[in-house]
């Protein structure tokens, strides 16, 4: 598992990896900015334009919100990177998986691409499950606040591992074959997903994780199911 991640990390210099990374960061920042703007707009509907502080006088709330915007964006990234990582699989996984296969598994024939409609159906369906599960988990976070990080990592590790492995496996085994492969390796997939969920909760570091996760799960799938594809598991670099 750690060797899979090391291989993914070693390919960061690949131009296709860098292209996906920049697009992924752009998507993430656009989402964070959009939610922040909506957040400030909603606050503006209910808060006065200025507040009066002792010994200071009137202060514009717009100034206060502007100063705090950076910290709000960083804080939001902790919670928003999980759905961003989910969306990433639908939009960019094929590009990352192809780059990994071209470098490490050149004897493998090209994988058929999913249609855009199937990709969007899978992505949006899973995103709905992810959001619903995390909303329900909020109750546990409040009741077991000390254990909240562990619950967050375990829950999202299970969900993200399931999705990433499923999407990688579908490319080679089809939908039914991917489900069967996921069932065969469920504990390993959950552990890999949890290891992915932990750095997703670290601001700035989390910007790299969706791409590295897609590459890592591609290597993991090849390691676990490569014999089913009847090709050499790896080739000398």
The pLDDT of residue 215: 92
The pLDDT of residue 107: 83
Radius of gyration of the chain (CA): 21
- As given in the structure block, the two tokens for residue 205 are 């570091």
Find, among 213, 205, 202, 73, the residue nearest to 157 by Cα.
Answer: 213
Contact of 29 with 108, CB cutoff 8 Å = no
The pLDDT of residue 62: 57
Rounded Cα–Cα distance for residues 44 and 47 (Å) = 5
The pLDDT of residue 74: 64
Residue 57's DSSP bridge partners are: 53
Q: Is the dihedral of CA 83, 204, 219, 105 positive or negative?
A: positive
The pLDDT of residue 50: 58
Contact of 58 with 51, CB cutoff 8 Å = yes
Domain limits, the chain: 2-229
Average pLDDT for runs of 10 along the chain of length 237: 86 85 80 73 64 52 58 66 74 86 86 75 78 80 81 88 89 88 92 89 81 91 79 44
The pLDDT of residue 189: 94
Find, among 176, 198, 189, the residue nearest to 223 by Cα.
Answer: 189
Separation in Å, CA 41 to CA 62, 66, 88, 135: 10, 12, 27, 23
Rounded Cα–Cα distance for residues 20 and 17 (Å) = 5
Find, among 148, 159, 34, the residue nearest to 85 by Cα.
Answer: 159
Rounded Cα–Cα distance for residues 58 and 137 (Å) = 41
The pLDDT of residue 115: 72
């Amino acid at each position: 598992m750690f060797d899979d991640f090391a291989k993914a990390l070693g390919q960061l210099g690949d131009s296709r990896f860098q292209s996906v990374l920049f697009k992924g960061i752009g998507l993430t920042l656009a989402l964070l900015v959009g939610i922040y703007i909506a957040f400030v707009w909603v606050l503006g509907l209910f808060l006065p334009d200025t507040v009066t502080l002792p010994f200071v006088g009137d202060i514009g709330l717009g100034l206060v919100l502007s100063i705090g915007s950076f910290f709000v964006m960083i804080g939001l990234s902790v919670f928003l990177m999980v759905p961003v990582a989910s969306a990433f699989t639908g939009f960019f996984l094929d590009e990352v998986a192809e780059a990994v296969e071209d470098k490490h598994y050149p004897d493998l024939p090209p994988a058929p691409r999913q249609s855009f409609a199937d990709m969007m159906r899978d992505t949006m369906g899973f995103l709905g499950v992810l959001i619903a599960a995390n909303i329900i988990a909020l109750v546990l976070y409040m009741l077991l606040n000390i254990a909240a990080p562990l619950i967050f990592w375990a829950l999202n590790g299970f969900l993200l591992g399931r999705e990433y492995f499923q999407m990688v496996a579908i490319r080679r085994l089809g939908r039914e074959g991917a489900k069967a492969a996921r069932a065969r390796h469920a504990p390993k997939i959950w552990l890999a997903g949890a290891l992915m969920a932990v750095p997703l909760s670290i601001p700035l570091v989390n910007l790299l994780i969706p791409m590295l996760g897609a590459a890592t799960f591609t290597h993991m799938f090849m390691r676990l199911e490569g014999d089913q594809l009847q090709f050499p598991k790896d080739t000398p670099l």
